[in-house]
A and B are shown apart, each in its own frame.
Chain A
Amino acid sequence: MGVNVPDSLKYTKTHEWVRIGDNSRAKVGITDFAQHEITDIVHIELPEIGKQIKKGQPVAVIESVKSAFDIYAPLSGKIISANDSTLEIPEIVNKSPYGDGYLFTIEFDDEKEIEKLLSADDYKKLI
């Protein structure tokens, strides 16, 4: 399967991607592989802004017609923004999982947690 795994991102075993930005901020979404497995996404629930989250905790839900998938926090910290356009048009997560279809932004607490995330190569091996 020709799924896209950009080298510039970090990954989790539960198929989230993380783009580390400035000021301890990170953007989070689901991988191309995950959106492919989930198939047509019909509904999304995003975390509230300001919510404190712990790494590994379920924070969002992505739903297809007959399944629902939990999305786990890749890092501990605070939710500082959520991509509301995915609520209106959930299919953008299918179309652009690394772009317009990202899910939320975290302000993370501990930089050390980043080291534990998977590299693109590691993630490719996993899938």
Chain B
Amino acid sequence: MKKLLNELSTECCPAYSLESDVGIDAQVPENLKRSLSFNLPNVAESDLLRHFTNLSRKNYALSTTFYPLGSCTMKYNPLINERIAKFDNFTKLHPYQNLETIQGVLEIMYGLEKDLCEISGMDCFSLQQAAGAHGEFASLLIIAKYFKSIKQKRTKIIVPDSAHGTNSASAVFAGFEIVPLKSESNGSILPEKLKEILTPEIAAIMLTVPNTLGTFEKNIPEISRIVHENGSLLYYDGANLNAVIGVVRPGDMGFDIMHINLHKTFSTPHGGGGPGSGPVGVKVFLEPFLPVPRIERKGTEFILNYEKPESIGRLKAFLGNFSVILKAYVYIKSLGAKGLKNVSEQAVLNANYMLARFRDKINVPAGNRCMHEFVLAPKALYKNSVRTLDIAKRLLDCGYYAPTVYFPLIVEEAIMIEPTETESKETLDAFVDTLIKIIVDETLLDPQKLKDAPVNTNVGRLNEVEAARNPVLRWK
């Protein structure tokens, strides 16, 4: 039986202790004093090491297995990034140090902004946002402020039904109303349909390119034309940028504003759910609205400029997730232009290879080609009341993390696979063989095995209904 920290607690000497070299002088008035008992665990260091190490072993991770989560870009996280990010001269800096003592930090941030501009075709970047959704939110505030500055009342944002849930949530968070746009079965947008809902109230349309079905939006020049003719802006959700680095640039496609997830495209680790970083890139006419402070170069020196009267303000305390920004910059310096282009070519090759191996066996709604990811629609093959959830759990038994399932919402029982460029042909082949065997053979011959899955994990299938009906959210 695995224990929780409080259940490991004994009368032992706890792991950490400190002494004061100035004595203890800590009396405080009764009305300010804590009287509540703490109930913190009391565990020795050796036992804590064992506890947390054993916990780590209950995770499937990129360092232990193939992790083909669609739209998440679970690529290899290079170790050199981590090593450099641990330098004392990066970790032990205070954000309010005098600028002359953090020139290295500013040089890196400035350098990354410039590289992201070149990669994306945008004119300026802000690195302050802490995640993709945070970047979306900042972008939408910028869009709102821009229209305010030119005295236009535009209150609505178009979001295709194939988009990530964050698009809608971020737009509403920024005070907009959503106008949904129905996409085609391959996830693409028809300019005619878009035209019908492009009213003078539309501030922007948010597009993910390639879209969440892994298809490149081939009507993008036409979409860009009609959106701009309407006076609206075009927003690029960079979640799938890994497909097109060095191939096409959002800026060249007509996008006015975008965000990038450094923890997807630029190899910084996901950390079990963060920290991330969500840089926002804009064309020059939107630059005045970017969050403050801006990093600028004055001769050989880097400075912070707070004098931006039209800025949307601040999105996060201090300068952003510098540790994440640093790792992304190391990654770019490790690859350079050639290496970056190779990333997208290989990511797209890997995905298409897998797709080619699946396409005769399992329905692929977006057709025979894809960009860096693709979606399977296996529903027609399901026998004996098997569902995609069962397939996902069975994959865990086979030692794989499951792909993204039930997304995008426009494909029933969807299985969304993104292999990334860092996986070998051998890994891809083994996974494809396994998934075909499960979907084509096991659903027919051994459905119970799928319903019972997983059996090789630390726990069996968990009761999520019970967890939500009677929430136990802390140790008691």
Contact = CB atoms under 8 A, between A and B. Distances in A.
B469 interface: yes
B465 interface: yes
A42 B464 CA distance: 9
A1 to B, nearest CB: 13
A54 interface: no
Contacts of A43: 468-469
A40 interface: yes
Contacts of A40: 465, 469
A65 interface: yes
B152 to A, nearest CB: 30
Interface string B447-476: 000000000000000001100110000000
Contacts of A42: 465, 468-469
A43 B469 CA distance: 7
Contact of B464 (A63, A65, A91): A65
Interface string A53-69: 00000000001111000
Interface residues of A, number: 9
A65 B389 CA distance: 13
Contacts of B469: 40, 42-43, 90-91
Contacts of A91: 469
Interface in A106-126: none
B38 to A, nearest CB: 32
Contacts of A65: 464-465, 468
Contacts of B406: 66
A42 B468 CA distance: 6
A12 B464 CA distance: 31
Interface in B113-170: none
Interface in A77-104: 90-91
Nearest to B470: A42
Nearest to B469: A42
B406, B464, B465 — most chain A CB neighbours (10 Å): B465
Contacts of A63: 468
Contacts of A90: 469
Nearest to B389: A66
Interface string A9-43: 00000000000000000000000000000001011
A43 B464 CA distance: 13
Nearest to A40: B465
Contacts of B468: 42-43, 63, 65
A86 B464 CA distance: 19
B164 to A, nearest CB: 15
A63 B465 CA distance: 11
A-B CB proximity, top 3 nearest: A42-B468, A40-B465, A65-B464
Given A42-B465, A42-B468, A66-B464, 9 more contacts: A40-B465, A40-B469, A43-B469, A63-B468, A64-B465, A65-B465, A65-B468, A66-B406, A90-B469
5 contacts: A40-B469, A42-B465, A42-B468, A43-B468, A65-B464
